[in-house]
Amino acid sequence: MAPHLNIVPSMFVLLLLFISASKVQSDAFDVVAKFGTKADGKMDLSKPFLDAWKEACASVTPSTVVIPKGTYLLSKVNLEGPCKAPIEINVQGTIQAPADPSAFKDPNWVRFYSVENFKMFGGGIFDGQGSIAYEKNTCENREFRSKLPVNIRFDFVTNALIQDITSKDSKLFHINVFACKNITLERLKIEAPDESPNIDGIHMGKLEGVNIIASDIKTGDDCISIGDGTKNMVIKEITCGPGHGISIGSLGKFQNEEPVEEIKISNCTITNTSNGARIKTWPGEHGGAVSEIHFEDITMNNVPSPILIDQQYCPWNKCKKQEESKVKLSNISFKNIRGTSALPEAIKFICSGSSPCQNVELADIDIKHNGAEPATSQCLNVKPITSGKLNPIPCSGPVPKTPSASA
């Protein structure tokens, strides 16, 4: 039932070959050698970085901004296009944000806006220095949270490759990808402690043709969270944990959310996370649609909820729990998923009573409970299509009247 998803367009492949070939004749704009900054962790990189970007962006030939090895302080930078030719950033050093959250008045630290034919690489580190922010970032302190910056933001970026970059200890999301097209994130490292609150690894929405490949994500919230308007995406070879797993959603909280469709998540390992492969929508609230979502070849290690559809998603019990979700879910598959569950309820399908889940497939599932009890599978408002070996037996346990809230 899962169609073949041809996610990487041939035109994008040709583009990447073009960018790689252009490196030989690329103009280099070194922020130290040409723009006078110092890698001393004290001098603000913001102006030299922006000046180098502006010159490179104005070049009619392919160009590269170079940030050499060393440690740099960066207060904030907004890097805007369109540029006249393909542009690269070679980040070799460690770039640090101000540790004090009060230094930020909006949720931006490093932002790329309206850029086409772009590549960032080099093995460098974006260090958000978020430990002070973690202490104050609570669900009650919304005004404080609204000003916390994302480490790296890609808005309206087209035809891009982000490769071999580390995001560390972001104050809010590590990487936010919005309204982008044909962008690949490959061999990324994302690092934050398990207790870091609301710190998604990669969050995205309203985009098409995105690939997240061969990346290691350790954080305090969803390793990857997929928002509305996302379509035609591949996620593969991800190691996730700690964190909250790989999630579609949450969806249905806001008006006029666009459909999520054609997502394939495969060959991933999820370890010691609160959830594994998850789709989450709010009860009540607003409508939406999720279709053609396919989780395949995934290993779960000690995950409390390895496979979860939660249409009663209600963190902190702040929602219309007495109402049904208005988001329609269809054509969803979980195939060749194996490993261990930290709780007996290894599979939970909690679907909407007013719009039951349609065409949900389970195939070749082998998830064992780490404890003495056997693993179980709970179903509400769904009749899964099954094939292959299945452990636990589908729908072998009832859903409690009040399901436990998932983070």
pLDDT at 24 over 70: no
Cα–Cα distance, 111 to 380 (Å, whole number): 42
Residue 329 has pLDDT above 90, yes or no: yes
pLDDT at 402: 66
The Cα diameter of the chain in Å comes to 67
pLDDT over 60 (residue 292): yes
State the pLDDT confidence band at 103, using cuts at 50, 70 and 90.
very high
pTM above 0.75, yes or no: yes
pLDDT tens digits, residue range 216-225? 999 999 999 9
Q: Is the pLDDT of residue 199 over 90?
A: yes
Tell me the per-residue pLDDT of 230-247, one tens digit each, with 9 for 90 and over: 999 999 999 999 999 999
CB–CB of 378/347 below 8 Å? yes
| In the predicted structure, residue 139 carries a pLDDT above the cut 70 | no
Burial 373-385 (b: 16+ CB within 10 A, else e): eebbbbbbbbebe
pLDDT digits (tens, 9 = 90+) for 337-386: 999 999 999 999 999 999 999 999 999 999 999 999 999 999 999 999 99
DSSP string, 258-277: PPEEEEEEEEEEEES-SEEE
The DSSP string of 59-126 is: -SS-EEEEE-SSEEE---EEEE---SS-EEEEE-SEEE--S-GGG-SSSEEEEEES-EEEEEESS-EE
Candidate list 244, 286, 294, 369, residue with the active-site label: 244
Query: 331: which 2 tokens?
Result: 């054509």
Within 8 A by CB and 6+ apart from 335, the residues are 2, 294, 295, 296, 297, 361, 362, 363, 364
Q: Which residue has the tokens 């879910």?
A: 329
Classify the C-alpha dihedral 195-199-202-208 as positive or negative.
Answer: positive
Q: What is the C-alpha to C-alpha distance for residues 310 and 339, in angstroms, rounded to an integer?
A: 21
Give 9-13 contacts, CB < 8 A, sequence gap 24+.
9/182, 9/209, 11/182, 12/159, 12/182, 12/184, 12/209
In this structure, how many other beta carbons lie within 10 angstroms of the beta carbon of residue 11?
10
* Rounded-to-integer distance, Cα 184 and Cα 167, Å: 16
User: What percent of the chain shows pLDDT beyond 90?
Assistant: 83
Confidence of residue 166 (pLDDT cuts 50, 70, 90): very high
- pLDDT at residue 269 is higher than 70: yes
pLDDT for the residue 405:
58
Q: Which pair of tokens denotes residue 64?
A: 């590269």
Residues 300, 44: Cα–Cα separation, whole Å: 43
* Residue 195 backbone dihedrals phi, psi, to 5 degrees: -85, 5
* Residue 294 is a catalytic residue: no
Task: Give the model's pLDDT for residue 209.
Answer: 97
Residue 21: predicted pLDDT: 42
pLDDT at 2 > cutoff 80: no
pLDDT band at 95 (very low <50, low <70, confident <90, very high): very high
Task: Inform me whether the pLDDT recorded for 212 exceeds 80.
Answer: yes
First vs last C-alpha separation in the chain? 30
Share the mean pLDDT of the chain: 92
Structure tokens at 216: 């290691």
CA distances (Å), 194 to each of 101, 167, 201, 243, 251, in order? Answer: 20, 15, 12, 6, 24
pLDDT value for 276 = 98
As a whole number, mean pLDDT of residues 95-101 equals 96
Q: Which residues face 153 on adjacent strands?
A: 111, 176
Q: Give dist(CA 185, CA 202) in Å, integer.
A: 10
pLDDT of residue 140: 63
CB 167 within 8 A of CB 190: yes
Cα separation of 365 and 394, whole Å?
10
Nearest to 157 by CA among 195, 119, 102: 119
